[in-house]
Amino acid sequence: MTALPAKTAKKLGLAIDLDTCVGCHACVINCKEWNTSNYGVPLSDVNAYGAAPVGTFLNRVHTFEAKSEGCNAQTVHFPKSCLHCEDAPCVTVCPTGASYKRSEDGIVLVNEDKCMGCGLCAWACPYGARELDQLAGVMKKCTLCIDRIYNENIPEIDRVPACVRTCPAGARHFGDFADPDSNVSKLSAERGGIALMEAQGTRPVNRYLPPRPKTDITGEGKIAVSAPALAPGIPEPGGFLGWLDKALEKL
Amino acid sequence: MHPAPSVIIFTALSGLGFGMMFFLGFGLPMVTGWGAFWYYLTAYALAVGGLLASTLHLGNPKNAIHAFSQWRTSWLSREGVAAVITLLVTAIHAIGLIFLAERFQIVGWISGALALATVFTTSKIYNQLKTVPRWNMPLTPILFLTYALAGGALLTGQITTAAVLLLVLTGLQVAVWQMGDKAFGAAGHNIATATGLGNLGKVRLLEGPHSSPNYLLTEMVYVVGRKHAMKLRAIASVTLGLVPAAILLVLPFNPALAAFAVLSHFIGLFAARWLFFAEAEHVVGLYYDKR
């Protein structure tokens, strides 16, 4: 049934650290690798070696630039996958009952044996977290690696989502947001974790930890600790060139 | 949003078919035998044709039967259920008129009300989506209902009613276009709220997550062809209601002219419905710095 559970015992999700993420896309690749060979149909590629390859991914890394007046531009790598919303609009719009949110842990899943591939859930998601597989015609989305996190056949250290396990920067954290003492709850509280597009009323579980403030090295008397030897880029010209510069300036 | 022919045909034709069923259900026009047969054949061809077209949109149609199960929560499911009930109840009324020359009045009224309810559920499929501010306006269901009523009146030969409804529809459509132009901005979503990075300064996409298009971009960030939007709006506003209403009100009735009025309405309806999808901007485009 595509009614949302009133309350879920756990709220499993990810805390994604935008300060630490280096934009290597390893999470994208490991997600594709794990999920193409486990839960549900494979994540297909169309025209994989052609001019315009298209494929299904459950996790994508966008790279943004933020720049405010008088400051250096800042690059922010921004991994994006299902946020396992508490008020998941993708679940309630589903006509077949394929989309559902688990009452035990809050994971939003698609039952591919019921999905008719109408795509309405992808339309209802503000975050672009769902992609219709072009070969199988069914909706694919992040499962929080449900086939890893409870899997007793793999070593305990591997019982986290593939993206979390593979991240070389330690930018992705998996845990239970319903438990205030969990790693992710504490991280989120400490770093002021944010929910994306709250105005949509989806109440996402995943949190994004905003980039930490950068050390300001541009002001008077401030020295870049990491690069103290660097002199200013172009010295003021003196002598004939200095005179020429001033003369041309006046023209 | 991608203006897929299947959903344009689905919403346009089923709206007309159920619009006809509304008027036929209330005995407008009061016909029996062959006269009723041709009216009902047209109405069923439009409604069923539209519903069948919608199945072409499905990636995995073998599971379509499950779509009747989630009517408690899903507007798309309600639409399917409402459509089937309407087609069945209307059939009882139609059989009475065609084969028994008898009008089951109460059944007719119920079938008419159900037909409008079905159009309402169709409109809610789109109207419910907060992710598409242009559709998420209270006028969207009213617009769909007015389309169905105006088209239904035209195709059931309710000349004066049709002319008035067509003019109302034209005004409403123009108003909805103009309000829709402001909807995305009014919803308050931008790249800063989408990424939560607004406090760092002006945000732009530096590098996309993938170099080729993907499902999200082709389905929900349809930007091609909007450059002709204003011309299409002009064509639609004239052909949708003004031309047919002028023919109905000013010129003497003549079957060829009536056919021309219907043709004009179809052109306007399809142009406007194409725009309904093509001009609708989904908030996911913000993550791609596109709308």
Q: What is the pLDDT of residues A133-177, one digit of tens each?
A: 999 999 999 999 999 999 999 999 999 999 999 999 999 999 999
Of the candidates B189, B175, B201, B104, the one whose C-alpha atom is nearest the C-alpha of residue A201 is B189
Neighboring chain A residues of B66 at a CB cutoff of 8 Å: 95-98, 114, 116
Q: pLDDT below 50 — which residues of chain B?
A: none
CB contact under 8 A, B212 and A80: no
Q: How distant is the alpha carbon of residue B267 from its chain centre? A: 14
Q: Which of B284, B286, B288, B289 should be substituted to probe chain A, the one whose Cβ sees the most A Cβ atoms within 10 Å?
A: B284
CA distance A82 to chain B (A): 13
CB contact under 8 A, A116 and B210: no
From B130, B201, B214, residue closest to A68, measured CB to CB: B201
Average pLDDT, chain A: 92
**What six digits make up the tokens of B127?**
């109207």
Q: What are phi and psi of A45, to 5 degrees?
A: -115, 145
Residue A213's pLDDT is what? Answer: 84
CB contact under 8 A, A131 and B216: yes
From A55, A123, A196, residue closest to B129, measured CB to CB: A123
What whole-number distance in Å separates Cα of residue A208 and Cα of residue B34?
Answer: 66
ipTM of this complex > 0.90?
yes
Cβ proximity of B107 and B93 under 8 Å: yes
CB contact under 8 A, B128 and A93: yes
Residue A232's pLDDT is what? Answer: 58
Q: What is the pLDDT of residues A211-232, one digit of tens each?
A: 998 776 666 666 555 555 555 5
Residue A225's pLDDT is what? Answer: 56
Q: What is the pLDDT of residues A50-104, one digit of tens each?
A: 888 999 999 999 999 999 888 889 999 999 999 999 999 999 999 999 999 999 9
What whole-number distance in Å separates Cα of residue A241 and Cα of residue B75?
Answer: 75
Residue A72's pLDDT is what? Answer: 84
Q: What is the 3-state secondary structure (H, E, C) of chain B?
A: CCCCHHHHHHHHHHHHHHHHHHHHHCCCCCCCHHHHHHHHHHHHHHHHHHHHHHHCCCCCHHHHHHHHCCCCCCHHHHHHHHHHHHHHHHHHHHHHHHHCCCCCHHHHHHHHHHHHHHHHHHHHHHHCCCCCCCCCCCHHHHHHHHHHHHHHHHHCCCHHHHHHHHHHHHHHHHHHHHHHHHHHHHHCCCHHHHHCCHHHCEEEEEECCCCCCCHHHHHHCCCCCHHHHHHHHHHHHHHHHHHHHHHHHHCCCCHHHHHHHHHHHHHHHHHHHHHHHHCCCCHHHHHHCCC
Residue A229's pLDDT is what? Answer: 54
Cis before B29 (ω within 30): yes
CA distance A13 to chain B (A): 18
Q: Report whether CATH 3.30.70.20 matches the domain A12-209.
A: yes
What predicted TM-score, i.e. pTM, was given to this entire model?
A: 0.91
Q: List alpha helices for chain A, DSSP H.
A: 26-36, 89-92, 120-124, 146-149, 162-166, 183-191, 239-250
CB contact under 8 A, A92 and B288: no
**What six digits make up the tokens of B285?**
């485009």
Cβ proximity of A103 and A5 under 8 Å: yes
What whole-number distance in Å separates Cα of residue A75 and Cα of residue B281?
Answer: 27
Residue A101's pLDDT is what? Answer: 97
Residue A36's pLDDT is what? Answer: 95
A65 CB neighbour count, 10 Å cutoff: 17
CB contact under 8 A, B66 and A116: yes
Cβ proximity of B203 and B195 under 8 Å: yes
Class of domain B5-199+214-288: mainly alpha
How many Cα atoms within 13 Å fall on the side-chain side of residue A158? 9
Domain boundaries, chain A: 12-209
CB contact under 8 A, A1 and B73: yes
Domain boundaries, chain B: 5-199+214-288
Share of chain A above pLDDT 70, in %: 92
What whole-number distance in Å separates Cα of residue A141 and Cα of residue A93?
Answer: 15
